[in-house]
A and B are shown apart, each in its own frame.
Chain A
């Protein structure tokens, strides 16, 4: 079995995982865009954290970044 075959065999199983991670990221980003004020007053930095730090980034933003 060459690499491409392995890849196409594995891929479908990873799709739900990717969707979950993407969902978390999108929820955090939408909240960030809508929010007037965030902790630390730096929306760009939060956006980078959400996009670049897998799973933990969006979670940390949603718990600490939002300011009511």
Chain B
């Protein structure tokens, strides 16, 4: 029923502007997929639409096959333009390389991106003489744990030495010895 609305009411043989626009757009590949489907359905039930679509498509193909005319070389050769007498400049050359020849910029960016990606990939997969990164990290953790255990042992040893051994086993006998010596000196003085 919708297709009926697309035709002019006064003359069913002539197509409406809307449908012709659709045909042209589709033939010149300016339409979207829905418009293409819509036209495909319409053309299936109407030979006039199909014929017109084919005609426009053929013309569009011919138009799209036209390439821009080549400029005759003699036009450029005939132009004898004197070149500028500018001194060579590194900044200008860089500017030229970046803006005038975008292919250089594109190549530089591609190389830089490739280097970054490669370095990231290599960094994730590096090996230490046959050991993988994960193995090295495990070994590092184990070493740290072992060192922390040793540290704890040293600490407790120091504490035992300072708190228990030195005052009781060393300082006390020394003090006793000194006291004995003092007593001996005192008694000798009294005798004299």
Q: Do A and B come from one complex?
A: no
Q: Which residues of A contact B (CB under 8 A)?
A: none
